[in-house]
Structure 1
Amino acid sequence: MTRLVTPRPAQAQVQYSHWPRRLPRELAVPRTSLWFNLAVSAARYPDKPATVFLGATLSFDTLRAQAEALAGWLQAQGVGKGDRVVLFMQNCPQYLVSFYAVNRADAVVVPVNPMNREDEFGHYLTDPQTKVVICSGELAGVVAAASARLAPAQRPAAVLVTQYWQTLPPDGPAADCQVPEPMRAWLMARHELPPGATDWADALGQGLVPGPHTAGPDDLAMLPYTSGTTGLPKGCVHTHATLMSNSCGGCLWGHASAESVGLAVVPMFHITGTLYGVLGPVFAGMTLVIMPRWDRELCGSLISRYRVTHWTCIPTMIIDLFASPNYRSFNLTSLRYLSGGGAAMPKAVAERLLEEFGLTFAEGYGLTETAAPTHGNPPERAKLQCLGIPIFGVDSRVIDPTTLEELPVGEVGEIISHGPMVFKGYWQQPEATDAAFVELDGKRFFRTGDLGRMDEEGYFFITDRLKRMINASGYKVWPSEVEMLLYRHPAVQEACVISSRDAYRGETVKAVVVLRAEAKGKTTEQDIISWAHEHMAPYKAPRLVSFVDALPKSGSGKVMWRTLQEQEQQIQQPQAR
């Protein structure tokens, strides 16, 4: 960890110049485990719906009871304190039951993107030494195939499989939810269990009672994975305390309470989905309306039917909702707080939201390493295409990424943040952890890798990236990871992945490929794209491919990806005019 110079005190105060008068600058964060939040809400609101899933409700008391029974089952499989349990499924009530069951068993949640393929999933078994996998039926085959590739000692001790229909009404999704037929068929599908796997109903039906809950605020609670500029995805060490900070802070910032109704549409495996679809609602005792997958017609009908008040999303969802020919028939008048991030909200869309619905889109900013937001726009004074101001207990600065000197207001540099939600480090990677932090005034600041500036009112703006990363509709794609997977293609000799502009996603993935001699003239761009979709998550798979005879390289032999990126930008400039 590198030491920085002492900043100018006046600059540090700028970021508080427009702090909302209704809010404290720091929170008295509960010194309890996350499980305690569910226990309290179940005691306070036992019969209140914790979740609504396409017509089926799950009360807080039932959520608690199922989580305790599942915790007992996990412990019976040998799960002990600190052991890692993978959650691998789309949004559903079972995700919340599983999350809190792992907490209750004093174990650690490892959330995994359900779009991952067999080639990618194995890493989430070996790197965290996963003890148990809890997955949905359509993904059980991925788990089984990835496990079969490993040595017996590396395989999970148990696999628990749930089916989405198990928490739906007996006849399937309620008719007035307007679930599209392909989604209905997917939800109601009955998948066979792989050999040795346990069915969800059987695990809960055993009614096993877990041992005493001993996890405290400083114990490891979750290990979400994030990729980087090199190597495979890294686990971010989050304790109950780092997650608790934004669990309660997010509710206070967004006017949420037990009377609120939230819409869970951001994937729960994602840190934003975890915060606003798993942690915050249970802390506040609010009802959560769950969407298993994005569909604009379904979204509009659920907001209308259940009078949703709070919706955290990515801007592309709102753009898509507005594009629906039926959007004027949706009743969105119940919405009180609309927030999100991952991509900038277009000015025209934000203005339309304000004019038609009186809603201000409050953009925020955060990373997996920071348990979602470190910055947020106060709903009462939001700025467009802006990260907002540092939230509760956060101290953010802008530094020169080379000299590590703090920069004056208005100058562009790397954004660094210190706060109670910042992770403890990367799982079993001390060198990467050390490189991720700098020290200033005795505080440990996380280096975000994002270049930005702070204006004279203390609001932060991103201008560029220090790290090589593609942001496709809020999903972060790390080119090095895609390149490593592409090298497995028998026709690929070399590959360099860059970003390309996309009217809907903002950015999309492009692969510049050198083919092996024997594959030239026999392999098409579509061949590469199709193969990629079979071997990696859809959001990572290149949508564009171009073939070249050679990649530009430096004197040391490194691929000069910036040269290719600049060439791509020059090609696209005339299109952007």
Structure 2
Amino acid sequence: MEDQLWHKSRWPSTVKKTLDYPDEPLYALLDKIAAKTPDAPSTLWSGVARSFAQVKDEADRIANFLVSRGIKKGDRVAIFLPNLPAYPPIFFGILKTGAIAVTCNPSYTEGELNFQLKDAGVKAVFCMDDKRFTPLTYKAVKGTDVETVVVTSVKSFLPKAKAVLGGLLGKIPKSPSYEEGITFFYDNIVQEFPPEAPDVKIDAKKDLALILYTGGTTGTPKGAMLTHRNLYSNVMQIDEWIQLEPPGGGTPEKLKRGEDIYVGALPWYHSYGLTLTMVASYLMGSAVICIPDPRAGSPPLTELLEDVQKYKGTVMHCVPALYAGMVNHPNVAKYDLSSIKACGSGAAPLPPELAKNFEAATGAIVFEGYGLTETSPMTHANPSLTNLRKFGAIGVPIPDTMSVIVDMETGNKVLAHGETGEIAVNGPQVFSGYWNKPKETAEVFRKIGGKDYFLTGDIGHIDDDGFFVISDRKKDMVNVGGLKAYPREIEDTLYEHPAIAMAAAIGVPKGDDTGNEFVKAFVVLKPGMTATPDEIIAWAKEKLAAYKRPKEVDIVDQLPVSTAGKVLRRELRAKELEKRGLS
């Protein structure tokens, strides 16, 4: 590609500007590493290491099972699980049938999961054997095309003694009941079906590997369609980008195959955790620590710190809120975190002081990046070298990625460096569109210089060094520790409350941390109806995932509206920030 402004300033001299991508399906990453280093550890959890060969064996058996259930190329299969050792073989097993994985947030309510299963036309779903997950799944599949529910127990992934004792004491998570006719068990599948995946021809550039749901630019949940090439190219781009200076100094080097331990703290249903941690570990031939809940323990995040120390984690990709939680943990000094060497940060602005404090506690380098669900996710990143990175910027476009600033009115006019507009992106990692939504897809793409550019919805500019700086958000989404909560969805849910006439939701910063917010709702009650803020908050617990639920509710007489009757969230937010002294 032609040299751009960012190539002429702080671009690392050892990083290639363009790469060659193999014409392979994404699961080739697993097959190749399992053939090369079959006995090397792939997943680490609860003291048990499972090898690449084991993951491939189970993925092949799962693919065989799915075919026996009528799953074929192009069908959709959902994963409703936290980060457990079963996740990689399930994910790759789905892809080996030619089917498309649909990852679901483990904190979803019945209604949220039902919507996603219906919208994607899912035919099978994998869920955790648990008193919450399993019954919720059975309820959510009603009225959908799902005919197969695979229940996955953690028991088989525990040390034998612990599994036996836990079973005897009733400490292994287990569903109170199972529905006949549609229920199958993971353990039975990997025991009874041979490790023979079907022979499916995959066109890496065109065939979908994954549908990830996002609120996009409107807040209405939409499935972003990602091909095998989208995801494969992004892990290769990230591999090329992360280059570290050797401990004794010298020329920066890429991470070496098989020498790292990835910390799986971010959820794998999310593109950030899935691509940069789980999938990347198979390209790198490195083990990944499975962390179902990074905030587990007392105080919170204790188990995450214990796992990093126990397994000597080296590579982390997290949101600023997690880095802050770790470095501010009351007992952080008791843990040896010196094994950590490379830390990517995204999904929210990275405060410079947080990065410096985390680096002081670990000896690692923290570098900020940027991306979206629609872009697999990474498009921009700061160099992973202290002398080249720039705090306050999201970085520069990574290899084979072009990015421009366009006017906010039409998205067709490319603006000059320094001018503020909407960030648009082109590259092999950019998605092919929204599932069954051609109109919404057309709205977010523009033809620029003969190439299709995706309009990110984020506002920013390019500085003199070619670094991109986000200055504002076009979207009204609420950034809850890196997870995106969309006001429209929250408001639509609040309108279901029998006492609520009008509702508006905004994001409020948690203290001085503008990159980490919580949801606050403003509601107008129906005449003659009564409700308290606490009652509304409690009601919302049954309707919305934890990060989407309002933490505060104000009952007001009226909401500010425009002449067209549109609720003016920006006015509510401005007044709230002023009241809190944050304006």
Question: Do Structure 1 and Structure 2 share a fold, with TM-score over 0.5?
Answer: yes
Q: Which residue of 2 aligns with 1:341?
A: 346
Selected match of 2:191 from 188, 198, 205: 205
CA deviations over 1:163-205 (Å, ceiling 9, x no partner): 2232121244999xxxxx9xxx998322245313111111222
Q: Aligned in 2, Cα 1:193/1:39: closer, same or farther, shift over 3 Å?
A: farther
Counterpart amino acid of residue 370 in structure 1: T
Q: Which residue of 2 aligns with 1:364?
A: 369
TM-score (ref. length: structure 1) = 0.92
Q: Secondary structure at the match of 1:80?
A: coil
Counterpart amino acid of residue 361 in structure 1: V
1:388 Cα deviation after fit? 0.7
1:445 Cα deviation after fit? 0.6
Q: Which residue of 2 aligns with 1:542?
A: 550
The 8 Å contact of residues 362 and 377 in structure 1, kept in 2 or not, is answered as yes
Q: How does 1:377-388 map to 2 (within 5 A)?
A: 377-380=382-385, 381-388=388-395
1:528 is aligned to 2:536: yes
Task: Show structure 2 runs of 5+ residues with no match.
Answer: 243-253, 296-300
Selected match of 1:395 from 399, 402, 411: 402
Q: List, as ranges, runs of 4+ consecutive aligned residues in structure 1 with deviation greater than 6 Å.
A: none
The percentage of counterpart residues that share the same residue type is 32
Q: Which residue of 1 aligns with 2:303?
A: 298
Q: Which residue of 2 aligns with 1:510?
A: 520
1:234 is aligned to 2:222: yes
The 8 Å contact of residues 224 and 368 in structure 1, kept in 2 or not, is answered as yes
**C-alpha distance in 2, partners of 1:14/1:160?**
48
Q: Which deviates more, 215-224 or 352-361?
A: 352-361
1:219 is aligned to 2:207: yes
Q: Aligned in 2, Cα 1:282/1:494: closer, same or farther, shift over 3 Å?
A: same
**C-alpha distance in 2, partners of 1:42/1:357?**
32
Q: How does 1:420-439 map to 2 (within 5 A)?
A: 420-439=428-447
Counterpart amino acid of residue 517 in structure 1: P
1:195 is aligned to 2:185: no
The 8 Å contact of residues 165 and 187 in structure 1, kept in 2 or not, is answered as no
Task: Count matched residues.
Answer: 552
Q: Which residue of 2 aligns with 1:328?
A: 333
**C-alpha distance in 2, partners of 1:483/1:71?**
40
Higher relative contact order (CA 8 A, sep 6+): 1
1:372 Cα deviation after fit? 1.2
Q: Which residue of 2 aligns with 1:178?
A: none
1:71 is aligned to 2:78: no
TM-score (ref. length: structure 2) = 0.91
Q: Which residue of 1 aligns with 2:251?
A: none
The 8 Å contact of residues 341 and 363 in structure 2, kept in 1 or not, is answered as no
1:168 is aligned to 2:158: yes
**C-alpha distance in 2, partners of 1:315/1:351?**
12
CA deviations over 1:212-258 (Å, ceiling 9, x no partner): 13223021110000014546310011100011011222223223322
1:356 Cα deviation after fit? 4.2
Q: Which residue of 2 aligns with 1:4?
A: none
Q: Secondary structure at the match of 2:378?
A: strand
The 8 Å contact of residues 520 and 550 in structure 2, kept in 1 or not, is answered as yes
CA deviations over 1:83-142 (Å, ceiling 9, x no partner): 000000100111111100001111000001011001111111211110100111231111
**C-alpha distance in 2, partners of 1:384/1:304?**
28
Q: Aligned in 2, Cα 1:187/1:538: closer, same or farther, shift over 3 Å?
A: farther
Q: Which residue of 1 aligns with 2:92?
A: 100
CA deviations over 1:298-353 (Å, ceiling 9, x no partner): 22222222221111111111211122222112112211211121112222222223
CA deviations over 1:505-559 (Å, ceiling 9, x no partner): 7211111101122322xx1101111111111100001111111112222222222
1:498 Cα deviation after fit? 1.0
Give me the CA root mean square deviation.
Answer: 2.1
**C-alpha distance in 2, partners of 1:571/1:174?**
56
Q: Which residue of 2 aligns with 1:25?
A: 17
The 8 Å contact of residues 495 and 501 in structure 2, kept in 1 or not, is answered as yes
The 8 Å contact of residues 137 and 190 in structure 1, kept in 2 or not, is answered as yes
**C-alpha distance in 1, partners of 2:406/2:474?**
12
Q: Secondary structure at the match of 1:498?
A: strand
Q: Which residue of 1 aligns with 2:455?
A: 447
Q: Which residue of 1 aligns with 2:246?
A: none
Counterpart amino acid of residue 202 in structure 2: A
**C-alpha distance in 2, partners of 1:187/1:497?**
39
Selected match of 1:566 from 563, 568, 574: 574
Q: Aligned in 2, Cα 1:100/1:481: closer, same or farther, shift over 3 Å?
A: same
Counterpart amino acid of residue 243 in structure 1: L
**C-alpha distance in 2, partners of 1:227/1:556?**
24
The 8 Å contact of residues 96 and 198 in structure 2, kept in 1 or not, is answered as no
The 8 Å contact of residues 109 and 221 in structure 1, kept in 2 or not, is answered as yes
The 8 Å contact of residues 81 and 128 in structure 2, kept in 1 or not, is answered as yes
Q: Which residue of 1 aligns with 2:495?
A: 487
The 8 Å contact of residues 472 and 508 in structure 1, kept in 2 or not, is answered as yes
**C-alpha distance in 1, partners of 2:395/2:475?**
21
The 8 Å contact of residues 262 and 308 in structure 1, kept in 2 or not, is answered as yes
Q: Aligned in 2, Cα 1:186/1:406: closer, same or farther, shift over 3 Å?
A: farther
1:52 is aligned to 2:40: no
1:427 Cα deviation after fit? 0.6
Counterpart amino acid of residue 513 in structure 1: V
1:566 Cα deviation after fit? 2.0
**C-alpha distance in 2, partners of 1:407/1:187?**
60
Q: Aligned in 2, Cα 1:518/1:206: closer, same or farther, shift over 3 Å?
A: farther
Q: Aligned in 2, Cα 1:55/1:85: closer, same or farther, shift over 3 Å?
A: same
The 8 Å contact of residues 521 and 554 in structure 2, kept in 1 or not, is answered as yes
**C-alpha distance in 1, partners of 2:575/2:431?**
37
**C-alpha distance in 2, partners of 1:278/1:233?**
24
Selected match of 2:145 from 144, 155, 159: 155
Q: Secondary structure at the match of 2:428?
A: coil
Task: Show structure 1 runs of 5+ residues with no match.
Answer: 1-8, 176-180
**C-alpha distance in 1, partners of 2:492/2:216?**
13
Q: Secondary structure at the match of 2:547?
A: coil
**C-alpha distance in 2, partners of 1:292/1:231?**
27
**C-alpha distance in 2, partners of 1:75/1:16?**
51
**C-alpha distance in 1, partners of 2:106/2:170?**
14
